[in-house]
C-alpha cells in the first residue's frame, strides 16, 4: 500500500475561519457555531466519513493590524465572534468513538497546573482521543487584554513553552504510577498514596512542587501538535511535536518546513519519520471537475478580500491596507515583517499584493485544489509525495459543505488508491494509536516526555 | 401556594465528594466520573425528576492539612482524583433542555478575559442555563502549585474578586450591543463594528483595554453564585450574588448567614428577597422512615472518618489528627482557626471532636435528614421556613442513588404540598428565569453588573 494520507478537518469555534466572507453563502452554517447540534452533527459526519480528527484553531484576540483597526474582521465575522474550543469537545466526544480532537491552547495565558487538568479531563472524556496544539500566540491584541503590554519576545516565548511542557510531562507522566489506583473496597483504598508523587518542579517561570490532581488518562500526555514555522519553532517541534502543522503556497515551499522539522527531530534523538506532518489545504470537490469549478466560482463571488487581508495582517503582522494591488510585496515589507512574509510566500515567487489577496481569500494561507474526487486525490498525492507529508488539515470554504464534499468524493477515491484505510483498519481507539506516533496509546520511548515516567517512588 | 423550594444536586468531578468512604458502597458509581455517560444519565435523571440545577464544586489542590499529609484524602478518593468541572457541562447540556448548571471557578488562578469567554461559551452551548459559583479558594496546596507561595490574604482575595467581576461585567454586559450582530448577507455585514466597544479597564489587578471576543449569550452574565461565610464574604455576596450557598448544622446557625447576606444585599441597594439562598443538606429518602434509616445504617457502616476529617481539615484549616474524640473543639483551635470553626459549628453547641467527626462523615458540612418522602419534605419545609431559605444544594451519600431516591420519594411530596411546581410551571428556559433572580434572562436592574450596559457607543 502506498503511504497513508491522514485527514484532519480544520475548524474554529467561530463563524468564519479561513475563507473570509463565505458566511454569506446560502449553504454556510458557520453562524451556528454556538449550537451544540452544529458540532455534534459535524463530528458524526467526519467520523463516519473517514476523517482522522477535527483540529480546532484558536486565538485570544482580534485581527486589528489591517488599517490599525478590528473593523474589517468584526464586520465580516473573520474569527470574531469566537468561542472557547475546549468546551466544544465533550459534546462531540459523547456522540463519536473514533474521531480525534486537536485543540489549540496558548501557553502564554494559562498555568500548567490548571491546563494539565483540562487536557487530562478531555483525554478521559474522549477515551484518549485528544491532541494539544501548543502555540505561543501571535496577536498583540490578545497580549494586551490578558494583562501584558505587548508580547513576550519570540524566542523567550519558546523558552516559556519548553518549561510549560516540562511541568505538564511531570504531571501527566510522572506523578501517578500506572498502578496507583487500586479501587480496593475491602481495604478501603481507592488510590495507594505511596504511588502518587510530588513533581517537585522549580523553574524560571513556574513552581509546581506538589502532586497532580488527576488519575492517568488513556494517553496520559495528549498527542502533542505544533505549528511553529520559524527556526526556533522548528526546533521546538522537532523536540516535542508528534504532529506538526505546516502551510505554504507550493509543495516546494512546504517541503522546506517539513525537512527542517524532521531534521530537528533527528537532532533531538527521535525518529524523524515518527513525526506526522500535516499541510493546510482547501479541497473543493464535486461530481466532476466542471461541477467543482462551478462551486468554486460561486464561492469566489462571495469572498471578502478586505477581511482576508485583515486575517493576513494578524498572521504576518503586515498591514496591507494602504498598498495597491500591483505593488510587489517586497516593497511593502519592513525589516520586522520580512521573515513572517518569507515563511508565508517562500522565496520562489515575486508576489504582488493583489496576488496575495486573491490567494488568501479562500482557505487562508493554504492552497486550494478543485475538481472531481480523482483530481483532488491526484493533487493530495502529489503534495504528500513532493512535500513528504503525512496528511492534511483541510480548511473549509463553507461549513459543513466543504467537508461533506470531501467525504463524498475524495475519501472513497483515496481508499481505492490505498491511501486511506477501511474504517476497521484505521487504528485506534486512541488518537496516538491512530496516528501511530507512540508506543501504543503512550508517548514513544524516544519522546522527551517519556523521561519523566521515572519520578522516584516514595517509601510506603 | 407556599413558598417554592428550589433543588440543586451538589456534585463534583471526582469519585467521592462529601461522604468520605462511600465509594465502597456496591451501588456507588462515583468512580465513573471520567465517563461522559455517567454525567449525561445523571443530568437526564435530574431534569426529568424536577431538579432545578446541578451544582458542581471544585478545588485546585488536595486536602493535606490533616496530619500534614494528603495520604488520607488520596487513599479514600476524597475529592482526589479530580477532573475539570467546566468540561462536564457541554455533554450534559446536549442531552437536556431545562436543567441549570452551576460551576465553581476560582478567581485566584484565572484571567478574566479568558474565563469570561469560557462562561459565555457555556451560556451559548446551554441556551442560557449556566451559573458561576465565584470562589476565592481556600486550599494552600492549590496556591503552591499555581505558583504562589501561600494564599493572597483573605480580604485582599475579595478585592481581587471584586475587580475580576468588574472586568467580566464590562465584557459580558457592555462590549457588544444587543443589536451588534446583524447578519446582513446583502451588505456583507455580520457584526456592525460601531456596536462593538472597547471596555477600557485599567485596574489594580487587571488591564483589559479592548473588546470582548464573544457575541452576547442568552444570559450575558451567568447567574452569579457565591458561598463566602465570612463578614467580607457576606458583603461580597450581598453585592454580587444572585444565589448564595450556605451551610451549617442547624436552621438557627444557617439563619444567621442568611440574614447577613440579605442585609448586605439591602445595603447594596438590591432587593434582599431577590437573592436565592441554598443550604447544603443530604437527604436519605426511602419508601418509609424505617427503610430510609436502614439505608443510612448501610452507609454508616462504610464511612471513612479519617478521610472525613481530612476534608474538614481543608475546609477549616484545622488539623484534628492528634485530637481524641472526647476533646472539646474549643481546646483544639488556635487563634487563626477560631473564626473558621465558629462559622462551621455556630455558637449554639459545645462540640467534641468525636461529634464533629460523626457529623461530617456523611454529607460533609451539612445536616443529614432521613425518612420517607413525607418526613424529608417536613424537614426541608422546616429548614426553609426557619432559616429563610429558597432551596437546597443536596449532597449525595452515594451517586446517583441518593438523588434518584429524592426524585422518587421527595419531589412528588413537595409537589403535592405546592412547594415545587409541575415541570411546565418551573420557569425557564434560562436558569436566571427559572431562579427568578433577574429581569427575564438578564441581570436585574438593581444588580451592579447592569451598570455596565451603558458603555459609550462609538461614532459609526
Least confident of A205-209, A236-240, A430-434, B335-339: B335-339
CA of B327: how far to CAs of A390, B67, B250, B394, in Å? Answer: 69, 17, 22, 30
ipTM over 0.90: yes
Give pLDDT, residue A104.
97
Interface test with B, best of A117, A145, A307 (most B CBs within 10 A): A145
> How confident is residue A337, by pLDDT bands cut at 50, 70 and 90?
low
- Give the number of other Cβ atoms within 10 Å of residue A187's Cβ: 10
State the cell numbers at A400: 459543513
Give pLDDT, residue B151.
65
Helices A305-316 and A338-345 cross at an angle (nearest 10°) of: 120
Q: What is the pLDDT of residues A257-315, one digit of tens each?
A: 999 999 999 999 999 999 999 999 999 999 999 999 999 999 999 999 999 999 999 88
Q: E strand or H helix at A120, and its extent? A: helix A112-125
Give pLDDT, residue A218.
98
Asked if B213 and A60 come within 8 Å (Cβ–Cβ), the reply is yes
Q: Are B79 and B59 in contact (CB under 8 A)?
A: yes
Asked if A122 and B87 come within 8 Å (Cβ–Cβ), the reply is yes
Give pLDDT, residue B335.
59
Helices A154-169 and A231-240 cross at an angle (nearest 10°) of: 10
Q: What is the pLDDT of residues B132-191, one digit of tens each?
A: 999 987 788 888 888 765 667 777 889 999 999 999 999 999 999 999 999 999 999 999
Q: Cβ contacts (< 8 Å) between B114 and chain A: which residues?
A: 60, 109-110, 146
Q: Model's pTM, two decimal places?
A: 0.96
State the cell numbers at A430: 486512541
Q: Is the CATH code 3.20.20.30 the one for domain B6-178+193-304+366-454?
A: yes
Q: Cβ contacts (< 8 Å) between A23 and chain B: which residues?
A: 185, 190
Assign A252 to helix, strand or coil.
helix
Q: Please give, rounded to a whole number of angstroms, the shortest distance from the CA of B94 to a CA of chain A.
A: 6
Whether the predicted pLDDT of A333 surpasses 80: no
Q: What is the pLDDT of residues B8-26, one digit of tens each?
A: 999 999 999 999 999 999 9
Whether the predicted pLDDT of A342 surpasses 80: no
Mean pLDDT for all residues in chain B: 92
Q: Are A401 and A302 in contact (CB under 8 A)?
A: no
Q: Please give, rounded to a whole number of angstroms, the shortest distance from the CA of A425 to a CA of chain B.
A: 26
Give pLDDT, residue A459.
54
Which among B60, B75, B111 has CB closest to A189?
B75
Q: Average the pLDDT over A71-100 and give the result.
A: 97
Backbone phi, psi, residue A36, to 5°: -55, -35
Q: Are B219 and B128 in contact (CB under 8 A)?
A: yes
Asked if B87 and A62 come within 8 Å (Cβ–Cβ), the reply is no
- Give the number of other Cβ atoms within 10 Å of residue A186's Cβ: 6
Q: Average the pLDDT over B379-383 and give the result.
A: 98
Asked if B91 and A94 come within 8 Å (Cβ–Cβ), the reply is yes
Residue A85 CA to residue A74 CA, distance in Å, equals 19
State the cell numbers at A240: 516535542
Asked if B210 and A61 come within 8 Å (Cβ–Cβ), the reply is yes
Whether the predicted pLDDT of A166 surpasses 60: yes
Assign A100 to helix, strand or coil.
strand
Asked if A214 and B81 come within 8 Å (Cβ–Cβ), the reply is yes
Which among A94, A144, A214 has CB closest to B36?
A94
Distance of CA B80 to the CA centre of its chain: 18
Whether the predicted pLDDT of A175 surpasses 70: yes
Least confident of B47-61, B145-159, B178-192, B444-458: B145-159
Residue A50 CA to residue A392 CA, distance in Å, equals 13
Which among A15, A23, A90 has CB closest to B91?
A90
Largest CA distance in chain B: 79
Interface test with A, best of B126, B190, B195 (most A CBs within 10 A): B190
Which among B61, B88, B188 has CB closest to A304?
B188
Whether the predicted pLDDT of B343 surpasses 90: no
Is the model more confident about B303 or about B460? B303
Q: Cβ contacts (< 8 Å) between B84 and chain A: which residues?
A: 117-118, 121
Q: Are B168 and B112 in contact (CB under 8 A)?
A: yes
Asked if B117 and A83 come within 8 Å (Cβ–Cβ), the reply is yes
Secondary structure, 3-state, chain B? CCCCCEEEEEEECECECCCCCHHHCCCCCHHHCCCHHHHHHHHHHHHHCCCCEEEEECCCCCCCCHHHCCHHHHHCCECCCECCHHHHHHHHHHCCCCCEEEEEEECCCCCHHHHHHHHHHHHHHCCCCEEEEEECCCCHHHHHHCCCCCCCCHHHHHHHHHHHHHHHHHHHHHCECCCCEEEECCCCEEECHHHECCCCEECCCCEECCCCCCCCCCCCCCEEEECCCCHHHHHHHHHHCCEEEECCCCHHHHHHHHHHHHHHHHHCCCCHHHCEEEEEEEEEEECCHHHHHHHHHHHHCCCCHHHHHHHHHHHHCCCCCCCCCCCEHHHCCCHHHHHHHHHHHCCCCCCEHHHHHHHHHCCCCCCEEEEEHHHHHHHHHHHHHHHCCCEEEEECCCCCHHHHHHHHHHHHHHHHCCCCCCHHHCCCCCHHHHHCCCECCECCCCCHHHHHHHCCCCCC
Residue A308 CA to residue A357 CA, distance in Å, equals 7
Q: Which of A141, A69, A67, A18 is nearest to A319 (CA)?
A: A67
State the cell numbers at A305: 478580500
With a CB cutoff of 8 Å and minimum separation 6, the contacts of B260 are B231, B234, B238
CB pairs under 8 A between A and B: 214
> How confident is residue A354, by pLDDT bands cut at 50, 70 and 90?
confident
Distance of CA A45 to the CA centre of its chain: 19
Q: What is the pLDDT of residues A224-263, one digit of tens each?
A: 999 877 888 899 999 999 999 999 889 999 999 999 999 9
Q: Which of A377, A219, A200, A360 is nearest to A283 (CA)?
A: A377
Nearest-Cα residue of chain B relative to residue A148 = B207
Q: What is the pLDDT of residues A112-164, one digit of tens each?
A: 999 999 999 999 999 999 999 999 877 888 888 887 656 677 778 899 999 99
Asked if B31 and A109 come within 8 Å (Cβ–Cβ), the reply is no
Q: Please give, rounded to a whole number of angstroms, the shortest distance from the CA of A51 to a CA of chain B.
A: 22
Residues recorded for chain A = 460
Q: Please give, rounded to a whole number of angstroms, the shortest distance from the CA of A131 to a CA of chain B.
A: 16
Give pLDDT, residue B109.
87
Q: Average the pLDDT over B277-292 and give the result.
A: 98
Q: Are A84 and A13 in contact (CB under 8 A)?
A: yes
- The burial class, CB within 10 Å (0-12 / 13-18 / 19+), for A240 is buried
Q: Please give, rounded to a whole number of angstroms, the shortest distance from the CA of A150 to a CA of chain B.
A: 12
Amino acid at each position: 500500500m502506498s503511504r497513508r494520507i491522514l485527514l484532519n478537518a480544520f475548524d474554529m469555534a467561530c463563524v468564519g475561519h479561513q475563507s473570509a466572507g463565505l458566511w454569506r453563502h446560502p449553504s454556510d452554517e458557520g453562524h451556528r457555531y454556538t449550537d451544540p447540534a452544529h458540532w455534534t452533527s459535524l463530528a458524526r459526519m467526519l467520523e463516519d466519513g473517514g476523517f482522522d480528527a477535527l483540529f480546532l484553531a484558536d486565538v485570544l484576540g482580534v485581527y486589528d493590524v489591517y488599517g490599525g483597526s478590528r473593523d474589517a474582521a468584526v464586520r465580516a465575522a473573520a474569527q470574531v465572534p469566537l468561542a472557547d474550543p475546549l468546551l466544544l469537545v465533550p459534546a462531540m466526544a459523547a456522540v463519536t468513538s473514533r474521531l480525534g480532537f486537536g485543540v489549540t491552547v496558548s501557553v502564554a495565558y494559562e498555568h500548567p497546573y490548571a491546563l494539565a487538568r483540562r487536557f487530562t479531563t478531555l483525554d478521559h472524556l474522549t477515551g484518549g482521543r485528544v491532541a494539544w496544539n501548543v502555540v505561543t500566540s501571535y496577536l498583540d491584541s490578545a497580549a494586551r487584554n490578558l494583562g501584558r503590554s505587548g508580547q513576550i519576545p519570540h524566542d523567550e516565548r519558546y523558552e516559556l513553552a519548553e518549561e510549560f511542557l516540562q511541568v505538564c510531562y511531570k504531571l501527566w507522566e510522572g506523578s501517578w504510577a500506572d498502578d496507583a489506583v487500586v479501587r480496593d473496597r475491602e481495604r478501603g483504598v481507592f488510590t495507594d498514596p505511596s504511588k502518587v508523587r510530588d513533581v517537585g518542579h522549580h523553574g524560571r517561570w513556574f513552581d509546581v512542587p506538589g502532586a497532580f490532581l488527576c488519575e492517568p488518562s488513556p494517553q496520559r500526555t495528549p498527542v502533542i501538535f505544533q505549528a511553529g514555522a520559524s527556526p526556533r519553532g522548528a526546533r521546538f517541534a522537532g523536540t516535542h511535536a508528534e504532529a506538526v502543522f505546516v502551510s505554504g503556497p507550493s509543495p516546494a515551499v512546504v517541503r522546506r518546513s517539513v525537512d527542517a522539522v524532521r531534521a530537528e527531530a533527528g537532532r533531538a534523538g527521535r525518529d524523524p519519520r515518527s513525526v506526522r506532518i500535516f499541510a493546510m489545504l482547501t479541497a473543493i470537490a464535486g461530481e466532476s471537475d466542471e461541477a467543482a469549478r462551478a462551486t468554486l466560482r460561486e464561492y469566489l463571488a462571495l469572498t471578502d478580500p478586505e477581511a482576508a487581508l485583515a486575517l493576513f495582517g494578524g498572521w504576518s503582522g503586515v498591514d496591507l491596507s494602504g498598498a495597491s494591488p500591483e505593488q510587489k510585496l517586497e516593497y511593502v515589507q519592513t525589516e520586522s515583517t520580512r521573515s513572517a512574509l518569507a515563511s508565508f510566500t517562500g522565496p520562489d515567487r515575486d508576489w504582488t499584493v493583489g496576488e496575495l489577496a486573491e490567494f488568501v481569500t479562500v482557505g487562508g494561507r493554504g492552497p486550494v485544489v478543485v475538481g472531481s474526487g480523482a483530481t483532488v486525490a491526484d493533487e493530495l498525492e502529489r503534495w504528500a509525495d513532493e512535500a513528504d507529508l503525512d496528511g492534511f488539515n483541510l480548511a473549509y470554504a463553507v461549513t459543513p459543505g466543504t467537508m461533506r464534499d470531501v467525504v463524498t468524493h475524495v475519501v472513497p477515491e483515496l481508499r481505492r488508491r490505498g491511501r486511506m484505510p477501511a474504517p476497521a483498519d484505521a487504528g485506534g481507539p486512541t488518537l496516538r494509536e491512530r496516528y501511530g506516533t507512540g508506543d501504543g496509546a503512550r508517548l514513544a520511548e524516544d519522546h522527551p516526555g517519556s523521561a519523566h515516567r521515572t519520578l522516584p517512588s516514595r517509601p510506603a
